[in-house]
Structure 1
Amino acid sequence: MHKKITMRLSQIFMRFSFLLLVALGVLLCSTAIYFYQRDMKETYYDYVSSIVSVSRAGLDGDDIRACIEKGEMSPKLNDALAQMNMYKENSRVSYIYLVYYPDEADPGDMRYVLYANTDADRADGVEDSVINSPCGEEYTENMWRGFYEAQFGGRDEIRFLENVTHINGSEVLMLTAIAPVYDREGNAVCVIGGDIFADIVIGHTRSYLLSVTFYAIIVLAVGFLGFFLLGRRFILKPLADITKSTGEFVDAVGRTEAPEDLTYGVVDVRDNTELRDLSRQLAHMMATTKDYMVNLKTVTAEKERIGAELSVAAQIQADMLPRTFPPFPDKESFDLYATMTPAKEIGGDFYDFFFADENHLVLVMADVSGEGVPAALFMMIARTLIKNRAQSEMSLSPSAILADVNGQLCESNEEDMFVTVWLGILDITTGKGMAVNAGHEHPAVRRAGGNFELVKYRHSPAVAVMEGMKFREHEFQLDPGDTLYIYTDGVPEATNAENELFGEERLLAALNREPDADPEKLLQNMREAIDAFVADTPPFDDTTMLAIRMNPVSL
């Protein structure tokens, strides 16, 4: 095993070293060539731009405009042409010329004003005067666009173009400098251009590339050999020994049933490097692992016990909430449905509904501060107190019920927990109800034939915040066809991966997806909308909902 690991790591290190040095060499060569070629091009651009600048200084824009209109050369323009012929004859510039666009609206019509020639050009039959003759395929699309922008762009500056053109069937790199020529009124009459072949740039670059590549290969070969030998001495060998010792310990962990008998062979790394620190830290980690495994059985057993107890607690909590639907089959005047989804095994939200007497239905939606076991215990106490007080023979007043429950919860609330409550008492014969909102979410109501809307009003404080609290009551009316939807903050505050809240707008949109649906379907639509919104994001709060719809009473 030790030999196989050493060989594999050596091969990886060798390939990595080779590729790293090759990449470094390519990067250095590319950088050197880039800057060399850039400097060469800048030199040629400076050269051709100086010829263009000197030639433009001897041009008269008004005279050129008159020549274009007449279609013939003037003495002044002939003198300028002679000057440009001299520049072309005695410089390395390949072409000097004047071109213009007769119509700004027609960028496809570019024509010559003049074309500078040498004695050799004239001997080959090239004409001196080409005024108003159309330009041909000798110019690339990039050059046509550059000339057009120079004449009509409104900027008095020398521009540079780089093009690959075809000369005698061969591709040639050409560097071009262009500038507009203006009349006395500041209008561009034409564009002067100068071209220079950049074949010398390519030739010099190739020679430079060969030289750089040759020396780079020598340096890379020496560097690779030294890098690999040093790496094998100071890295590969110690790592192989550490791998062997660690592998033996891992194999022993898989076989042993007595973690206290595990041993780890510490590798002695003589060089004062990070590998020596790694060897010592691994030895410490293996000792810690051994201690961890010794205690693992006890910890695992304790965790399983707690998990089992939480499962029982979750079942007890679920059994406390009414889960049989329809809950009152003999009551045809309304339909009711509710759900509670805890964020953890057990939660602090709860709902409840029960009859205080034959005609008065009590509806409860509450959210205890916090999560987990403390919230669940406080929830059970609060639910029991609310139900016992509401079913007593005392006044059926939501405010009186919560005031009494508030006093009892505050008596021994050392953890300063509280519960937000929406408590309503509905007369199912008339649809008239009284409710208290103690710091809870705004309910949503749909009137028959309409859409759901939030009913917003001033809330009372949450229950168990302070002794002696009074709670504000308000009346509400549910007629046949009306639906009431109450919920905890786990609905609007459901959060997706982008940390966005579900919010009230999405809440209403989900309700109004099928506003006339029965309560069970209504809550199902809401659950689907929340799940689609949060996707795989774990919930951080319980989600509890209740909906009740009043039905027409048959006579």
Structure 2
Amino acid sequence: MNNSDHYKALVALFDKQLEFAQNLQRKIIPSPGSFISDDYHFYSYLRPFRKVGGDFYDFHFLENGKISLLIADATGHGIDAAMITSMIKLSYSYTMKDDYINQSPSLVLKQIESDICQQMDNTFFTAIALVLDPKEKMLCFANAGHPSAILIKDNHHVDLLKPSLPMLGLQQYMPEMNYFDMFLDFSKGDKLLLFTDGLVDAQNPESEEFSIERVIFIAKNSSHLPINQIGKNIITSCMEFNRHQPPSDDICILGIEFEE
């Protein structure tokens, strides 16, 4: 086999592996239409930097109308990051079977971190886990080094769900770290936006970042609109800002609206 044939064989093998990873990632990330709730509207947008990526989200329906939600961002890009998201999916699905852990976002993150670190050393990712409770009109969350989520109240006031824990994967170096949940009111008419850093770090040709301040500004100005339109406005503004340059990172946005 000459060098040209060897190169072609390697490219064909890589393409086959990439196609496998792409098909796997399509299966592990739920479609927006599978989110069915009497209380909440859901919006999602996911654009990998390459054909596969490290951005991931999932949700699970709990008892009494509660909903567990997870968004995560594995370090790196491509097949390696996609494999990490597959492991996050498996751990999250397994964790949802524990009726004690699944009520606590911080314990969900702790379990996922523990599961993955047992299998792979030096694997790091950021994540936000949430539990929405429509009866109590509350949400509880834990943010592990992830960009702050944006909570838009019905009166247009904005709160940020800031990091409450370090990036996941650091547990091995911080064995005494405490895991705890944060609680916020989430009432009818309120809206919540979660996203990965690919959105706020997107740059224009002058190397200026899109920034969380721009996302908040758009969210405030669009707060009277349905959550799906707010999400679309943010994506459109981001694309116009970077002047349709090729992406440099995965972008994922989730939106939740408590139906009035």
* TM-score with structure 2 setting the length: 0.90
Matches within 5 A, 1:391-540: 391-395=97-101, 396-414=103-121, 416-450=122-156, 453-455=158-160, 457=162, 459-467=164-172, 468=175, 469-540=177-248
**CA distance 1:320–1:474, shift in 2 (3 Å):** same
Percent of residue pairs bearing the same amino acid type: 23
Question: One-letter code of the match for 2:35?
Answer: P
Kindly provide the CA deviation profile for residues 221-273 of structure 1, in whole angstroms up to 9, marking residues without a partner as x. Answer: xxxxxxxxxxxxxxxxxxxxxxxxxxxxxxxxxxxxxxxxxxxxxxxxxxxxx
Q: CA deviation at 1:316?
A: 1.7
CA 1:514–1:490: 2 relative to 1, 3 Å: same
Question: Distance in 2 between the 1:321 and 1:348 partners?
Answer: 11
Larger Rg computed on CA atoms? 1
Equivalences for residues 163-178 of structure 1 within 5 A: none
| Contact 1:426/1:432 (8 A) holds in 2 | yes
Alignment deviations for residues 393-418 of structure 1 (CA, whole Å, 9 cap, x no partner):
3341122222222222222323x121
Q: Give, in angstroms, the shift of residue 548 of structure 1.
A: 0.4
Q: Alignment partner of 1:527: what SS? A: helix
Give the match for residue 3 of structure 2: 295
The 2-side partners of 1:550 and 1:466 are apart by 34
Task: Report the CA distance shift for 1:454/1:344 in structure 2 as closer, same or farther (over 3 A).
Answer: farther
Deviations 1:330-351 (A, max 9, x none): x321101112111111101111
Q: Which has the higher contact order (CA 8 A, sep 6+)?
A: 2
| CA deviation vs aligned residue, 1:70-97 (integer Å, no higher than 9, x gap) | xxxxxxxxxxxxxxxxxxxxxxxxxxxx
Cα distance in 1 between the residues matched to 2:125 and 2:53? 13
Q: How does 1:204-219 map to 2 (within 5 A)?
A: none
Query: Is contact 2:117–2:123 with CA below 8 Å preserved after alignment?
Result: no
> Deviations 1:384-436 (Å, cap 9, x if unpaired)?
2123213323341122222222222222323x121111101111222212110
User: Mind listing any 5+ residue stretches in structure 1 that lack a counterpart?
Assistant: 1-290
2: distance between equivalents of 1:385 and 1:461?
19
Task: From the superposition, tell whether residues 463 and 324 of structure 1 become closer, same or farther in structure 2 (CA, over 3 Å).
Answer: same
Secondary structure of the corresponding residue to residue 255 of structure 2: strand
How much does 1:296 deviate? 2.0
Which AA in structure 2 matches 1:378?
I
User: What is the CA-CA distance between 1:458 and the residue it aligns to?
Assistant: 5.0
Q: Cα 1:356–1:314, aligned 2, differ >3 Å: closer, same or farther?
A: same
Does the C-alpha gap of structure 1 residues 491 and 318 become closer, same or farther in structure 2, counting only changes over 3 Å?
A: same
Change over 3 Å in CA distance of 1:398–1:298 after alignment to 2: same
Tell me whether 439-448 or 456-465 shows the greater mean CA deviation: 456-465
The structure 2 residue matched to 1:349, chosen from 51, 55, 58, is 55
Q: Deviations over 1:139-178 (max 9, x none)?
A: xxxxxxxxxxxxxxxxxxxxxxxxxxxxxxxxxxxxxxxx
Instruction: Give distance in 2, aligned partners of 1:529 and 1:486.
Output: 16
Distance in 2 between residues matched to 1:369 and 1:454, nearest whole Å: 27
Q: Map 1:58-137 onto structure 2 (within 5 A).
A: none
The separation in 2 between residues aligned to 1:341 and 1:517, in whole angstroms, is 23
Moved over 4 A (4+): none
Is residue 338–residue 545 contact of structure 1 (8 Å, CA) maintained in 2?
yes
**Structure 1 counterpart of 2:204, which letter?**
N
**1:265-280 counterparts in 2 under 5 A?**
none
**TM-aligned CA deviation for residue 301 of structure 1:** 3.5
Q: Distance in 1 between matches of 2:96 and 2:34?
A: 22
- Which runs of no fewer than 5 residues in structure 2 stay unpaired? none
- SS state of the match for residue 455, structure 1? strand
- 1:519/1:497 Cα in 2 relative to 1: closer, same or farther (>3 Å)? same
Higher helix content, 1 or 2: 1
Cα distance in 2 for residues equivalent to 1:411 and 1:399: 18
Q: Does 1:361 align with 2:67?
A: yes
> Using the alignment, how far apart are the partners of 2:71 and 2:148 within structure 1?
11
Matched, 1:378 2:78: no
1:440-461 deviations in Å (ceiling 9; x for gaps): 111101111416x351545211
User: In structure 1, the residue corresponding to 2:171 is in which secondary structure?
Assistant: coil
Match in the other structure for 1:332: 38
For the residues of structure 2 that align with 1:412 and 1:339, how far apart are their CA atoms?
Answer: 30
Displacement after TM superposition at 1:314 (Å):
1.3
Residue identity matched to 2:42: L
Number of the residue aligned with 1:548:
256
> In 1, Cα distance between the equivalents of 2:123 and 2:100?
27
What amino acid is the match of 2:3?
N
User: What's the TM-score once normalised by structure 1's chain length?
Assistant: 0.44
Change (3 A) 1:326 1:381: closer
Say what the alpha-carbon RMSD is for the aligned residues.
2.0
